Amino acid sequence: NAGVTQTPKFQVLKTGQSMTLQCAQDMNHEYMSWYRQDPGMGLRLIHYSVGAGITDQGEVPNGYNVSRSTTEDFPLRLLSAAPSQTSVYFCASSPRTGAASGANVLTFGAGSRLTVL
């Protein structure tokens, strides 16, 4: 059971280039999300999805696009990378059947470190 798989682990881009960070989970989780982690800023929510075909913005969505065509996959797209997007990105998923059932616990991927020059 792989859990949450993120690729690539490391990526260097030039300003203006585009790329997609991949995230896949094999736990049949309905909820998937992307966070970015920067020193002193904690984990900030970029986008999230409560099921296939449904996505919504988080705290810092500008410069990023997402789609959710299947339950398993939730890719994050950078259309025109900027140095401010240099960060570590985490994908996380949960069953999301309700906090009352204790089922909203997030399982994180290993992270993707992105550097934009």
Q: Which two tokens stand for residue 76?
A: 């994050």
Q: Which two tokens stand for residue 80?
A: 């025109």
Q: Does 32 bind another protein (CB under 8 A)?
A: no
Choice from 68, 85, 96, 114 touching another protein (CB under 8 A)? 96
Exposure class string for 83-113: b at 16+ Cβ within 10 A, else e: eebbbebbbbbbbbeeeeeeeeebeebebbe
Q: Does 45 bind another protein (CB under 8 A)?
A: yes
> Which lies closer to another protein via its Cβ, residue 17 or residue 22?
22
Q: Does 58 bind another protein (CB under 8 A)?
A: yes
**Which one of the spans 12-20, 21-29, 45-53, 71-79 is the region binding another protein (CB under 8 A)?**
45-53
Choice from 1, 14, 42, 62 touching another protein (CB under 8 A)? 42
Q: Does 40 bind another protein (CB under 8 A)?
A: yes
Residue 17 CB partners (closer than 8 Å, separation 6+): 80, 81
Cα atoms in the 13 Å half-sphere on the side-chain side of 106: 14
Using CB under 8 A, list all residues that contact another protein.
33, 35, 40-45, 48, 50, 56, 58-59, 90, 96-100, 102, 104-111
